[in-house]
């Protein structure tokens, strides 16, 4: 009996030490995270309208976190390859994803999607909204959007609209535009924003609807013809450019929103610290200034939260599902 008590006492003490040690280890981990480089996965090509802001933000976040935030581009399938990679990654706090509207459109576009955007990720934060612009080759005959709308209706599928591939925001914008106008324009997919823009600049296609972060330099250079912006009100960087809504498409709106996600099960401390570093980066005058110059709009504080992103993704998924299904354009 004495031996049993002694043994029990010994085990209890050892277990207590182990428990205390484990708690200390967890606490230390929370205090020291991150201890190595963090990967921020971008679903699109380097130099594109999602990649450029991501690299700008990652650079600032590296200073706050004390470890490099390394951007890794994983291209293909409208961003689903990157999203699936992150969904399946180890939930250790060292892999994150920045993605746009494609998280909300994927369930409708891909009928055999290997992950669930709503349940297979931890939400970190929204980031920014980017307006889109409707631009055309420089020698497009229509002098304004009213004339362009008439031209598109009269010429049907002879008019072509470039986009960066099925599932890209430029593709979604072209679908919405065709539906709003009742025009049967031909959509032409390219393997990214850069080749689509090059085709437009070379006069090989007629139109492109894309983010201001991509189109602004070409608009300022006078290399393309600008017909309007896709927001409900005019944007600060282009105050003289009317919206499509005020030019005959009431209610037309297409804004590219971005959010940051992590694999399901990622520790809360990692979500919190990464999110905090993100908020610091977005309030950095150097970062905010460059984003604003490109036409991006940093979202309000209430959206810079996990709950803010989750609510928005759920809403957008419901919004775009019927639009894509009615267009009958699927990616698989």
The tens digit of pLDDT for each residue in 215-244 reads 999 999 999 999 999 998 999 889 999 999
C-alpha distances out from residue 165 to 144, 174, 192, 200, 217, Å:
27, 11, 6, 15, 22
Query: Kind of pairing, strands 38-42 and 95-99?
Result: parallel
- In 10 A of CB 41, how many CB atoms? 23
| Long-range contact set of residues 10-19: C-beta below 8 Å, sequence gap at least 24 | none
pTM of the model: 0.82
d(CA 329, CA 187): 11
C-alpha distances out from residue 40 to 77, 117, 119, 159, 193, Å:
18, 17, 20, 38, 20
Q: Which residues pair with 132 in a beta bridge?
A: 211
Find where tokens 């979500």 sit. Answer: 271
d(CA 122, CA 53): 21
Q: How confident is the model at residue 157 (pLDDT cuts 50, 70, 90)?
A: very high
d(CA 124, CA 271): 6
d(CA 96, CA 127): 13
- The DSSP element (H or E) to which 226 belongs, if any, is strand 224-229
CATH of 36-130+256-327, one of 3.20.20.70, 3.40.50.460, 3.30.420.40, 3.40.190.150: 3.40.190.150
Task: Give span(s): CATH 3.40.190.150, the chain.
Answer: 36-130+256-327
* % of the chain at pLDDT higher than 70: 91
The pLDDT value recorded for residue 29 is 59
The conformation of residue 134, written as its DSSP 8-state character, comes to E
Q: Judge whether 208 and 163 are in contact, CB under 8 Å.
A: yes
- Fold classification of 131-247 is D-Maltodextrin-Binding Protein; domain 2 (3.40.190)
Task: Give span(s): CATH 3.40.190.10, the chain.
Answer: 131-247
pLDDT tens readout for residues 296-320: 899 999 999 999 999 999 999 998 8
Enter the tokens of residue 328. Answer: 């009958």
Q: Judge whether 67 and 96 are in contact, CB under 8 Å.
A: no
The pLDDT value recorded for residue 165 is 84
Find where tokens 């698989």 sit. Answer: 332
Find where tokens 């990616």 sit. Answer: 331
pLDDT tens readout for residues 162-205: 998 877 889 889 999 999 999 999 999 998 888 999 999 999 99
3-state secondary structure (DSSP) of residue 33: coil
């Amino acid at each position: 009996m004495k031996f049993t008590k002694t043994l029990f006492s010994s085990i209890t003490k050892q277990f207590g030490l182990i428990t205390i040690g484990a708690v200390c280890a967890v606490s230390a981990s929370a205090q020291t995270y991150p201890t190595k480089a963090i990967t921020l996965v971008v679903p699109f090509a380097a130099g594109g309208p999602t990649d450029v802001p991501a690299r700008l933000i990652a650079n600032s976040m590296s200073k706050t976190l004390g470890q490099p935030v390394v951007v890794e581009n994983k291209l293909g399938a409208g961003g689903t390859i990157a999203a699936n990679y992150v969904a399946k990654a180890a939930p250790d706090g060292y892999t994150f994803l920045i993605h746009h509207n494609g998280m909300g459109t994927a369930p409708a576009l891909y009928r055999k999607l290997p992950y669930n955007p709503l349940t297979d990720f931890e939400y970190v934060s929204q980031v920014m909204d980017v307006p889109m612009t409707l631009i055309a080759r420089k020698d497009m005959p229509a002098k304004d959007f009213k004339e362009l709308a008439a031209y598109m209706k009269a010429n049907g599928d002879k008019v072509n609209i470039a986009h960066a591939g099925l599932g890209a925001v430029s593709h979604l914008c072209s679908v919405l535009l065709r539906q709003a106008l009742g025009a049967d324009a031909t959509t032409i997919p390219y393997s990214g924003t850069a080749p689509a823009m090059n085709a437009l600049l070379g006069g090989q296609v007629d139109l492109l609807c894309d983010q201001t972060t991509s189109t602004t330099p070409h608009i300022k250079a006078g290399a393309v013809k600008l017909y309007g912006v896709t927001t409900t009100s005019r944007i600060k960087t282009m105050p003289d450019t009317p919206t499509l809504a005020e030019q005959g498409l009431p209610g037309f709106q297409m804004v590219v929103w971005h959010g940051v996600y992590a694999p399901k099960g990622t520790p809360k401390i990692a979500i919190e610290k990464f999110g905090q570093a993100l908020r610091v980066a977005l309030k950095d005058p150097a970062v905010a200034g460059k984003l604003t110059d490109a036409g991006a709009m940093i979202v309000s504080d209430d959206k810079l939260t996990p709950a803010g992103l989750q609510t928005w993704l759920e809403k957008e998924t419901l919004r775009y599902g019927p639009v894509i299904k009615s267009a009958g354009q699927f990616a698989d």
